């Protein structure tokens, strides 16, 4: 493992080893474009967003009992699900790179995150997003044999 390669992901280069012709190192912007990164961000946003929404709702309900906590939750859901969808909106399940990414990343949590997103977008009647997510769901289920 090369520390120089790890630090280069964050834009930090070792002055002694910097080589403009070195194509073996990957930078963070390249990493962000990979299906694995995008799927990971999608899953993290759903699960961390749900936890954050619960915590903020509890905090606000204790600080101001007259506050409509449901409305805060609705805004939180909108932000969470739409931001998570951003990371998988370009997913093409017919492309090998995405199939490989989904295959390697498939687990029960990713499947749950996709199902939660489908459920949310059904409620907001964003059926194009639902259709896109269902394709991802079917591929995950195929790889999980569910």
Query: How many Å apart are CA 102 and CA 1, to the nearest integer?
Result: 25
Q: Looking at the structure, do residues 10 and 40 belong to the same domain, yes or no?
A: no
Q: Looking at the structure, do residues 137 and 85 belong to the same domain, yes or no?
A: yes
pLDDT given at position 74? 80
Q: Looking at the structure, do residues 15 and 87 belong to the same domain, yes or no?
A: no
Q: Looking at the structure, do residues 49 and 116 belong to the same domain, yes or no?
A: yes
Q: Looking at the structure, do residues 36 and 26 belong to the same domain, yes or no?
A: no
Query: How many Å apart are CA 29 and CA 90, to the nearest integer?
Result: 16
Return the CA Rg of the chain.
19
Cβ proximity of 93 and 139 under 8 Å = yes
Indicate the pLDDT class of residue 5, thresholds 50, 70 and 90.
low
Total domain count, the chain: 2
Expressed as residue numbers, the domain containing 5 is 1-30
User: Residue 125: left if φ>0, alpha if ψ -120 to 50, beta else—which one?
Assistant: left
Query: How many Å apart are CA 46 and CA 61, to the nearest integer?
Result: 22
Q: Looking at the structure, do residues 117 and 52 belong to the same domain, yes or no?
A: yes
pLDDT given at position 145? 85
Q: Which of 28, 141, 32, 26 lies closest to 86 in space, CA to CA?
A: 32
The yes-or-no verdict on residue 27 having pLDDT over 90 is: no
Q: Looking at the structure, do residues 91 and 138 belong to the same domain, yes or no?
A: yes
Kindly report, residue by residue over 110-145, the tens digit of the pLDDT. 999 999 999 999 999 999 999 999 999 999 999 998
pLDDT given at position 29? 75
Query: How many Å apart are CA 27 and CA 6, to the nearest integer?
Result: 9
Q: Looking at the structure, do residues 58 and 130 belong to the same domain, yes or no?
A: yes
The yes-or-no verdict on residue 23 having pLDDT over 70 is: no
Query: How many Å apart are CA 126 and CA 141, to the nearest integer?
Result: 22
Query: How many Å apart are CA 131 and CA 115, to the nearest integer?
Result: 12
Query: How many Å apart are CA 22 and CA 87, to the nearest integer?
Result: 29
Residue 110: both structure tokens together: 């990713």
The yes-or-no verdict on residue 22 having pLDDT over 60 is: no
Q: Looking at the structure, do residues 81 and 91 belong to the same domain, yes or no?
A: yes
Q: Looking at the structure, do residues 139 and 79 belong to the same domain, yes or no?
A: yes
Q: Looking at the structure, do residues 73 and 129 belong to the same domain, yes or no?
A: yes
């Amino acid at each position: 493992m090369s520390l120089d390669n790890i630090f280069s992901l964050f834009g930090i280069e070792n002055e002694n080893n910097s080589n403009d012709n070195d194509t073996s190192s990957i930078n963070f912007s390249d990493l962000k474009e990979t299906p694995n990164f995008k799927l990971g961000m999608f899953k993290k946003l759903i699960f961390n967003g749900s936890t954050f929404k619960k915590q903020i709702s509890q905090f606000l309900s204790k600080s101001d009992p007259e506050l409509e906590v449901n409305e805060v939750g609705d805004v939180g859901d909108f932000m969470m699900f739409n931001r998570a969808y951003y990371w998988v909106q370009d997913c093409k399940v017919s492309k090998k790179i995405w199939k490989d990414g989904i295959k390697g990343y498939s687990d029960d949590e990713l499947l749950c995150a996709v199902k939660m997103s489908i459920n949310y977008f059904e409620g907001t009647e964003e059926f194009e997003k639902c259709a896109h997510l269902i394709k991802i769901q079917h591929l995950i289920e195929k790889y999980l044999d569910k």
